[in-house]
Structure 1
Amino acid sequence: MAEQVLDTLDVALLEALREHPRAGLQEIARIVGVARATATARLQRMERTGVVTGFGPDVDVTAAGFGVQAFVTLEIAQGALEEVHRELAALPGILEAHATTGRGDVLCRVAASSHEALQQILVQLNHSASVVRSTSVVALSCVVPWRTLPLLRSEAAPGSGRSPSYR
């Protein structure tokens, strides 16, 4: 997908959606101070270009019973990334995995209901013929949760001739 440059109005719409997730589009447009058609067109463009990937609820995995989390670095066999991708996707406890540079090849974020359940996930990972070595670091607490708005705000292009009244 082509890189999308967001302007201050786009960011204001995203911020309003984040702060008022149950509001309808008419209400979001009112909060931001634009016409509903403008808000609709902007949000549809951000969906079409992949900037907005969903409107589902955010889930706190700790509150849902998966309070043990870890980051696992995998060193994998040469050329085994596709196989590792399939294996990781089949493990429900893998929240996300990223191919990386440096000593490890893949960094995984893992969640489990207990230390024993985490150990089972680690054993499953180490049984993979594609995994040469793994290193685990248990997360004690979340210092900065997943967020995007500060980054988007910091790099937003000036609005398209319109100064949103939001914020």
Structure 2
Amino acid sequence: MDDVDSRLIAELRRDGRASISDLAAKLKLARATVRGRIERLIASGEIAGFTVLTRADVTAAPVRGLTLIGIEGRGTERIMAQLQGMPAVQAVHSTNGRWDLIVEVAAETLQELDDTLVRIRRIEGITSSETNLLLSTRRPLKRP
């Protein structure tokens, strides 16, 4: 994958429905070049597919964050099970380092997020937590 492929993928991430003509104009390439590169990237597996974001995907839970959790003792599995039962919890990741778990949370409002964080902090065995709000998400280009 070269710089042109990276720029092409970046444009497709911005607008997966962009026409070959629009992509060619933005990248200052011939339409046949853009079409050929897209076909090659699909055939090589570099582009694994295309998707659609619905309004629900981007607005159902606009308040998102990552909660870093420290656990006392050996209660990780029990705590993970409790976390997974909470509606606002999108994913639970075990990790190494200072924190034991990273929890992806999503809510409709800051108040709903705060209520979820209070519930999390009350789980027996959790000794510390830190939450960072996600302000925006950008997908990085895949580099060789």
Task: Please say whether Structure 1 and Structure 2 have the same fold, judged by a TM-score greater than 0.5.
Answer: yes
Inter-CA distance 138–148: structure 2 relative to 1 (3 Å threshold):
closer
Is the helix fraction higher in 1 or 2?
2
2:95 to 95, 100, 108: 100
1:7 to 2, 20, 30: 2
| Aligned positions, number | 137
- Following superposition of structure 1 onto structure 2, how do residues 65-144 of structure 1 map, counting pairs within 5 Å? 66=61, 68-76=63-71, 77-78=73-74, 80-81=76-77, 84=80, 87-126=82-121, 128=123, 131-137=125-131, 139=133, 142=135
Provide the identity percentage. Answer: 20
Q: Deviations over 1:20-63 (max 9, x none)?
A: 33224x44763553152431230341245xxx6x52328798x7
Relative contact order (alpha carbons < 8 A, sep ≥ 6): 1 or 2 greater?
1
- Asked if structure 2 preserves the Cα contact closer than 8 Å seen for 1:70 and 1:136, the reply is no
Aligned equivalents of 2:36, 2:68: Cα separation in 1 = 46
Q: Counterpart amino acid of 1:94?
A: V
User: Aligned-residue CA RMSD in angstroms?
Assistant: 3.9
Q: What's the offset of the Cα at 1:88?
A: 4.2
Q: Deviations over 1:104-132 (max 9, x none)?
A: 11122323233442243234434656x53
- Matched residue, 1:46: 46
Q: What stretches of structure 1 of length at least 5 have no aligned partner?
A: 1-5, 158-167
Q: What stretches of structure 2 of length at least 5 have no aligned partner?
A: none
- Asked if structure 1 preserves the Cα contact closer than 8 Å seen for 2:121 and 2:129, the reply is no
Aligned equivalents of 2:24, 2:86: Cα separation in 1 = 43
Inter-CA distance 17–138: structure 2 relative to 1 (3 Å threshold):
closer
TM-score, with length taken from structure 2: 0.61
Does structure 1 residue 56 correspond to structure 2 residue 56? Answer: no
- Asked if structure 1 preserves the Cα contact closer than 8 Å seen for 2:5 and 2:37, the reply is no
